[in-house]
């Protein structure tokens, strides 16, 4: 029994010797040299990025061009009651006014509302020289029309500071704060009371 144990330990030692190969120092140096050779192309890529820096300047130039395109129109926000209008006034135009992707006549229910929208351009005398596009949300038809008017008036100030006097005199630059008054308890509306009965 003792002899068998010795043979098993001897076989284990031989297996261990076979599984552990000896590594020379020369092979380790070769592996390190190969790793450094792999790193060299990475440094070449960095050189390429340095050479490609003028492309970034071209991108900046394109952004500047985009900025010029943005400067072609003037932006103004108009508000009335719960309606909010985002208005763009284009410097070069034929007098087209588009509200929510519709013309003024299509969008406004009555001609009086269409006149409200156009009125700031008429006062300044720029009715046929500028184009207007607006996006309106909230409120009713009259509130939206007055919100667009307010936005156009604000955008016209950016075009020319001399337009301030006539627009201010007409009252198109002031934000109208009037809103519907809240309903009170015991009343039908804000002020309307139910019919009073004596007997």
Q: Using pLDDT thresholds of 50, 70 and 90, give the confidence band for residue 64.
A: very low
pLDDT in tens, 149-177: 999 999 999 999 999 999 999 999 999 99
Q: 54-69: string of b/e by CB count within 10 Å (b at 16+)?
A: eeeeeeeeeeeeeeee
96: CB partners within 8 A, 6+ apart: 103, 131, 132
pLDDT score of 113: 96
Helix (H) or strand (E) holding 149: helix 141-159
* Average pLDDT value over all residues in the chain: 78
pTM of the prediction?
0.62
* Domain spanning 71-170, CATH architecture: 2-Layer Sandwich (3.30)
| 22 — pLDDT class (breaks 50, 70, 90) | low
H/E stretch holding 118 reads helix 111-124
The domain limits of the chain are 2-49, 71-170
What's the mean pLDDT in 75-89? 96
23 band by pLDDT with thresholds 50, 70 and 90: low
Q: What is the pLDDT of residue 125?
A: 93
Contacts of 188 (CB under 8 A, 6+ apart): 194
Please tell me the distance from the alpha carbon of residue 139 to that of residue 61, in angstroms, as a whole number.
Answer: 42
Q: State the average pLDDT over residues 85-97.
A: 93
Instruction: Kindly report, residue by residue over 109-142, the tens digit of the pLDDT.
Output: 999 999 999 999 999 999 999 999 999 999 999 9
What pLDDT band is residue 14 in, cutting at 50, 70 and 90? Answer: very low
Please tell me whether residue 103 adopts helix, strand or coil conformation. strand
Q: 82 with 143: CB under 8 angstroms?
A: yes
What 3-state DSSP class applies to 136? strand
DSSP string, 11-40: HHHHHHHHHS----HHHHHHHHHHHHHHHH
């Amino acid at each position: 029994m003792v002899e068998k144990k010795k043979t098993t330990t001897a076989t284990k030692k031989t297996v261990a010797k076979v599984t552990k190969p000896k590594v020379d120092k020369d092979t380790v140096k070769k592996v390190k040299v190969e790793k450094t050779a792999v790193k060299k192309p990475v440094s070449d890529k960095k050189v390429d990025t340095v050479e490609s820096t003028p492309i970034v300047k071209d991108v900046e130039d394109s952004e500047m061009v985009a900025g010029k395109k943005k400067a072609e129109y003037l932006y103004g926000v108009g508000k009335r009651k719960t309606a909010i209008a985002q208005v763009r006034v284009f410097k070069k135009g034929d007098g087209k006014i588009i509200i929510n992707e519709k013309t003024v006549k299509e969008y406004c229910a009555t001609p009086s509302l269409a006149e409200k929208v156009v009125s700031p351009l008429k006062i300044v005398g720029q009715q046929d020289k500028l184009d207007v596009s607006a996006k309106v949300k909230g409120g009713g038809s009259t509130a939206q029309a007055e919100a667009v008017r307010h936005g156009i008036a604000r955008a016209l100030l950016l075009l020319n500071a001399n337009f301030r006097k006539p627009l201010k005199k007409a009252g198109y630059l002031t934000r109208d704060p009037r809103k519907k008054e809240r309903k009170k308890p015991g009343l039908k509306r804000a002020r309307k009371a139910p019919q009073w009965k004596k007997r």
